[in-house]
Amino acid sequence: MPLATPKKYAVYRQAVVRQFPVLLIISFMAAIVAATAAQALAPAPEVHFSYLVSLRQREEATEYRFDGYYALQATDLFATTLASWVHTPEIIAAAYQQAGLVLTDRDPRSVRAAITATKSSPQLVEITVRQPREADAQKLAAGLQAVMNEQVAAYHAQGIPALTFGVVVTTPWVGQGAVATRVITAAAFIFTFIAALNVVLLQVSLRLPPD
């Protein structure tokens, strides 16, 4: 593509100078919209706590030796079960009811999105509870803990009698995800300005006579 002649360059420059205020206005408007959207889509408050699982009691058996390895394996399996309980829709729905919150969505995938359970070690299950409001997140976390206490008690009452597990809950901590609002705003401004500038240059080039 040949370079623009000095005359054409002057025409391009005049068009850009003439439209420069409009380019700035459009870019600022796009930046404001991007900043507003970034704030509206900010991550919901999160309540973090963990379950520490330990083998509290085991039945003595004469036909086998329940050594430390099998004790750790049993604890690992129970921690896996605990994490699975937390992430089931019926447990989450019961936690909503226990917390006095209304479960508006009946989609199981959306219900599961409110609570995340991650088994990060054989004896540690990390829980994250998300809600649009911090107070609701704290209520849901407390409701989940109450429901899980009942679930663990029912397991010990009706499950394997040879094993009893202790479950310790850590103190909840409330976090808030950060949004890079400034970066998003600056990127929207630059992208819009460059796009609008290219539109102006294209319009000028279409009006110019061919060489």
Q: How far apart are CA 34 and CA 50, in angstroms?
A: 36
Q: How far apart are CA 103 and CA 108, in angstroms?
A: 11
Asked if 125 and 86 count as a contact pair (C-beta separation under 8 A), the reply is yes
CATH topology of domain 46-175: Alpha-Beta Plaits (3.30.70)
Q: How far apart are CA 126 and CA 50, in angstroms?
A: 4
Q: b or e along 30-69 (b: 16 or more beta carbons within 10 Å of the residue's beta carbon)?
A: bbeebbeebeeeeebbbbbbbbebebeeeeeeeeeeeeee
pLDDT tens, residue order, the chain (211 aa): 444 566 777 887 888 888 888 989 999 999 889 888 877 776 678 999 999 998 876 555 545 455 556 777 888 999 999 999 998 999 999 999 999 998 887 888 888 888 999 999 989 999 999 888 889 999 999 999 999 999 999 888 886 656 788 899 999 998 876 667 788 889 989 999 999 889 888 888 877 766 5
pLDDT on residue 1: 41
pLDDT on residue 119: 93
Residue keyed to tokens 């099998």? 70
pLDDT on residue 178: 63
Measured CA to CA in angstroms, residue 44 lies from 18, 40, 90 at distances of: 44, 10, 22
Asked if 185 and 29 count as a contact pair (C-beta separation under 8 A), the reply is no
Look at residues 147, 202, 207, 130 and name the one whose alpha carbon lies nearest to residue 155.
147
What residue ranges do the domains of the chain occupy? 6-41+179-207, 46-175
In 3-state terms the chain splits into helix, strand, coil percentages (rounded to 5) of 60, 20, 25
Q: What is the pTM of this model?
A: 0.63
CB atoms closer than 10 angstroms to residue 199:
13
The CA angle 207-193-31, to the nearest 5 degrees, is: 145
Q: Residue 140 corresponds to which tokens in the numbers above?
A: 């849901």
